[in-house]
Structure 1
Amino acid sequence: MKHLSFAIVLFCFLPLGCAAISEQARLEEYGRTMDSYETAMRLSDFNAACQYVDPSAMSRSDCLNRYDNLKMVSYEVLRMNLSKDNREVTQTVDVEYYFLDRYIAKKLQYEQSWRYQEEEKTWVLNTGPPLFK
């Protein structure tokens, strides 16, 4: 009888444990995604950065056009807000950049919105890059 009650208790708490493990995996994936995205931005590898943009938010060609003739000087996340369900992240980002034909450094602060896609187990950028002027 003891074994049966232990099995019932274990069975009842198993979904909670699985949910916590799933949430941890989702947040670890977010960390890996941010590391890759930030590296791409700092290296001005916009081809790689545009791979993270949700195609329903902006086409790949439109994303690449936003970075045309641009060199990133710095990329820094200032603030990050995680939704209660840990499936959306809003970040305030500060960037410094210049256009290759002008060499005048400019600064821009903007908001990014990331969403976790459960089916693909990936994070995507809901907002494309800002308009650099």
Structure 2
Amino acid sequence: MDEDYLEAVLDVVGAIPPGRAMTYGLVAEVVQDRLVASGLPARGGPRQVGQVMARGGSGVPWWRVVNAAGSPPAHHAVAALERLREEGTPLTADGTRVALRRAVWFPDDPPAGDPPAGDPPAG
């Protein structure tokens, strides 16, 4: 795995705000878009994102990256779900998965509390 890809994955994951989550596949899509925009070839997918996270993701909020069903990594599920609950991340009724429709984050989303682009500030 090359350094550009590794850094791009960790950059995206590091930017996920508390209370939000991304899937491995969504991280892969964002990374591909960023690589292409910077003149590098598109590469990687959800499995490669998982490899990056397993090998070097301890310094980023790894618990905010889940599979397409909203489940955290099985071998870290207890710790991940605890952190997600602490952050107020929306979970399913049984508390075992992230409620992705409410929690998914896209890097171009405004930070929590900020009005969407184009809306005047309240007040």
TM range, smaller chain:
under 0.3
Q: By percentage of residues, which structure has more strand?
A: 1
Instruction: Select the structure of larger CA radius of gyration.
Output: 1
TM-score under structure 1 normalisation? 0.23
TM-score under structure 2 normalisation? 0.24
Q: Greater relative contact order (Cα 8 A, min sep 6): structure 1 or 2?
A: 2
Q: By percentage of residues, which structure has more helix?
A: 2
